[in-house]
Amino acid sequence: MGKSIIEKIIENHTVDGIPKKGEEIGIHIDQTLTQDATGTATYLEFEAMGFKKVKTEAISYIDHNTVQVGFENADDHRYLQTVAKKYGIILSRPGNGICHQVQLEQFAKPGNVLIGADSHTPTAGGIGEMAIGVGGLDVAVAMGGGPFYLTYPKIIKIELTGKLQHWVSAKDVILKILSVLTTKGNVGYAIEYSGDGVKTLTIPERATITNMGAETGVTTSIFPSDEQTHDFMKKQGREKDWIPLEADPDAHYDKIIKINLSEIEPMVACPDSPGNVKTVKEIAGLKVDQIAIGSCTNSSYKDLMTVAHILKGRTANENLELGIAPGSRQVIEMIEKEKGLASIIKAGARIFESACGFCIGNSFAPGTDAVSVRTNNRNFKGRCGTKNSKVYLVSPETAAATAITGKITDPRDLEKMGIKYEEIKMPETFEIDNSMFIFPLPEEEREKIEIFKGPNIKPIPKNEPPQETVKGTVTIKVEDKTTTDHIMPAGPYLKYRSNVPEYATHVFEPIDPHFTEHALKNKEHGIANIIVGGESYGQGSSREHAALCPMYLGVKAVIAKTIERIHQANLVNFGILPLLFDNPSDYDEIEQSDSIEIANIKKAIENGEKEIKAKNITKDKEITLKLYLSDRQQKIILAGGLLPFTAQGDAK
Ligand code: MIC
Ligand code: SF4
């Protein structure tokens, strides 16, 4: 039988286990990526495990924490720069651009495997690379030369036919797909695109689609590598890295979804989930207070030239504020050359630096009850920095049309306002400029590099091996779709990513500001903290701090209806038990402050038991829980987490 693209790549890279769907396998990693918000912890872990040099093509980006209120960010940048020099990592300096956009331009390679400490790493799937978002500790181990372990995913084929109508773009395609797949229930799957419609999409457009595949919860999304890919890589000066890649005609898929591009309309994800999708027409006319264009989803040359074309000769509506963050320095240089930047500036847009900024609630927070229309990928409550604002996710076309009218506007209506559609073509040559990368030193010069650590950088705390019995209390009970932004908010606290004791004081702050206080009190009294979650617990970002900081506060177990892939791995990596309710109705009965006992859990893990009996002492009721751990994960939990497990030499 023929093979799909993902099967071809996985089978080429498997170094441990049997490559069979549903089984855990270890794969060789060609490239790794970190950004500064996840990178500091990743490199501290890399150092703590005693590795001496990186064995992947490793790129460290500085793009998240660039606000620099206080000394912390700048100190972290210096740490990242010195650690990169010491171990042979490529550093992308602040201002060079958002990690996923720059990776796509400069490093992504069809047929390669990339893991990145950021959930939108699959952006590189637009070029035909198998790219997976993971926790920092997994990246650290891969950089040290270890395989990356994952469950061999089932594969959904999305067959694209037709061609997008004018004013409809890649963002509308992925929002349409999100309306079909939703943000839950897709763990264990990967998406592969095929069909004639693929040819009509440029690489940055494909990357918009693979980027937001992360919101469905799939492991990765990938496009074939074809003539478009070849053209893009040639213009990026990387033709030698191009290889053709497509599925065999008789490849088998676990699910098939057909999408006719010609039928897609402008779409919008309404508050507070990327899965809450409607057509723009349905909510057109809603008054808007803010527009933010950019982020790793929609900040390419084509996106911004489209915005420039719409805004040309016009001024942003006086009732809103408009901000634009280009995805990379290359994008800025190119839109400047084509006079797009001038149109954007003249329209009154505030030009932000090439960084994550508004997307992570790090700046440009909307006002009280404000409606913010954005081109980024997540609109979880409060993520933008303002709890009671409403964020709508749209395409650059819809955002620009809305910027003119001040109300959510279907960009197809622009024609009525005298704005003609213009196809934005990729220029014949790209502005390639590598001057903002710091490339590795020759090995003999690395020894003398001293790693700088500012006072905000604290060692990574380690967990202990589990006790025979977990005796604890439900410190918090949260609802379905609790995201890592709820568990471990970013925004103003991002600067504490390298200071776990400080960052941990904000765990669950958006839901229960007293969580930390209660958790620390329990910890002091030797009572284990237990988190109870609903469906898709831990969806969203890859931030391992959503496991690391709870671990520091004495969380020993999460019991949920379902747990998202990256977060499940992060929990295991930090020695927290990822337990599932066998009977979801037990979720309804359990309450905050209930005392729970999970007897003989250590033995159960050693024996590889999947069914665990726990007791709700407060309710005098037995609950059956499920514990799905691979053999390797059992060993990791028994060691107290991946850090001690790797440092013991087991994973080297
Ligand atoms: C995000 O979009 O939430 C982030 C910030 O890029 C995160 C990583 C992080 O929390 O640092 C992600 O998506 O993984
Ligand atoms: Fe940065 Fe936003 Fe992309 Fe995350 S989703 S990498 S915060 S731009």
Per-residue pLDDT tens digits for 562-584: 999 999 999 999 999 999 999 99
Which ligand 2 atom is the nearest neighbour of the CA of 490?
Answer: 7
Shortest-distance Cα residue to atom 9 of ligand 1 = 543
Assess whether the C-beta atom of 560 lies below 6 angstroms from ligand 2: no
3-state helix, strand, coil in the chain (%, to 5): 35, 20, 45
- The pair of structure tokens assigned to 615 is 């007791």
Computed over every residue of the chain, the mean pLDDT equals 97
Assess whether the C-beta atom of 296 lies below 6 angstroms from ligand 2: yes
Q: Residue 442: which residues within 8 A CB-CB, separation 6 or more?
A: none
Per-residue pLDDT tens digits for 162-188: 999 999 999 999 999 999 999 988 999
Residue ranges of E strands in 62-137: 90-92, 113-116, 130-133
Q: Look at residue 366 and give its three-state secondary structure.
A: coil
In testing the pocket of ligand 1, which one of 119, 384, 506 has its CB within 8 Å of the most ligand atoms?
119
Write down the residue that tokens 């410190």 correspond to: 475
Q: Residue 652: its pLDDT value, please?
A: 43
d(CA 509, CA 93): 32
Shortest-distance Cα residue to atom 2 of ligand 1 = 541
Contact between residue 392 and residue 374 where contact means Cβ atoms under 8 Å apart? yes
Distance 270 CA to ligand 2 centre (A): 19
Q: How far apart are the first and last CA of the chain?
A: 35
d(CA 129, CA 132): 9
Which ligand has an atom closest to residue 486 CA?
1
Q: Residue 448: which residues within 8 A CB-CB, separation 6 or more?
A: none
Per-residue pLDDT tens digits for 420-463: 999 999 899 999 989 999 999 999 999 999 999 999 999 999 99
Per-residue pLDDT tens digits for 380-436: 999 999 999 999 999 999 999 999 999 999 999 999 999 999 999 989 999 998 999
Q: Which residues line ligand 1 at a C-beta cut-off of 6 Å?
A: 37-38, 64, 118-120, 133, 360, 490, 541-543
pLDDT over 60 (residue 257): yes
Question: Is the CATH code 3.40.640.10 the one for domain 470-647?
Answer: no
Per-residue pLDDT tens digits for 484-526: 999 999 999 999 999 999 999 999 999 999 999 999 999 999 9
Asked whether the domain spanning 470-647 has the same topology as the one spanning 267-417, the reply is no
Contact between residue 104 and residue 110 where contact means Cβ atoms under 8 Å apart? no
Q: Residue 651: its pLDDT value, please?
A: 47
Question: Is the CATH code 3.40.50.880 the one for domain 5-263?
Answer: no
- The pair of structure tokens assigned to 420 is 């003609």
Assess whether the C-beta atom of 384 lies below 6 angstroms from ligand 2: no
Shortest-distance Cα residue to atom 6 of ligand 1 = 118
Confidence of residue 648 (pLDDT cuts 50, 70, 90): confident
Q: Residue 272, preceding bond cis, omega within 30 degrees? A: yes
Contact between residue 488 and residue 543 where contact means Cβ atoms under 8 Å apart? yes
- The pair of structure tokens assigned to 204 is 């940055």
Residues 132, 137, 138, 140, Cα dihedral to 10° = 100
Mean pLDDT of 324-350: 98
Q: Residue 212: its pLDDT value, please?
A: 98
| Helix (H) / strand (E) containing 247 | none
Spatial CA neighbour of 139 closest among 165, 117, 123, 114: 117
pLDDT over 80 (residue 556): yes
Mean pLDDT of 193-208: 98
Q: Residue 195: which residues within 8 A CB-CB, separation 6 or more?
A: 158, 159, 160, 161, 258
Domain ranges of the chain: 5-263, 267-417, 470-647
Query: For 248-362, where are the alpha helices, taking DSSP H only?
Result: 280-283, 301-311, 329-337, 340-346
d(CA 347, CA 355): 21
Assess whether the C-beta atom of 359 lies below 6 angstroms from ligand 2: yes
d(CA 366, CA 369): 8
User: DSSP state, 318?
Assistant: T
pLDDT over 90 (residue 590): yes
Confidence of residue 649 (pLDDT cuts 50, 70, 90): low
CATH topology of domain 267-417: Aconitase; domain 3 (3.30.499)
